[in-house]
Amino acid sequence: MYQLGSFVEMKKPHACVIKSTGKKANKFEVIRLGADIKIRCSNCDHVVMMSRHDFERKMQQVLPSET
């Protein structure tokens, strides 16, 4: 399960990655939880806000923590 500060992998990569590096980096950090979820792209720091329902549908997996 995801929590505040977790890194998640989304089904589709963020548009910035295709233009700048050509890689499929779709890693996002969860920065707000509630009825809406706010995530930040780990490549360009762009913030995306979506409903919890949309987030759970578009999320592929929770990435293991790097500790």
Whole-model pTM: value is 0.83
* pLDDT on residue 10: 94
> Angle at CA 47, nearest 5°, toward 32 and 13?
110
Q: For 4-52, write each residue's pLDDT tens digit.
A: 999 999 998 887 765 656 676 789 999 999 999 999 998 888 999 999 9
> Do 26 and 12 contact (CB within 8 A), yes or no?
yes
Residue 62 has pLDDT above 70, yes or no: yes
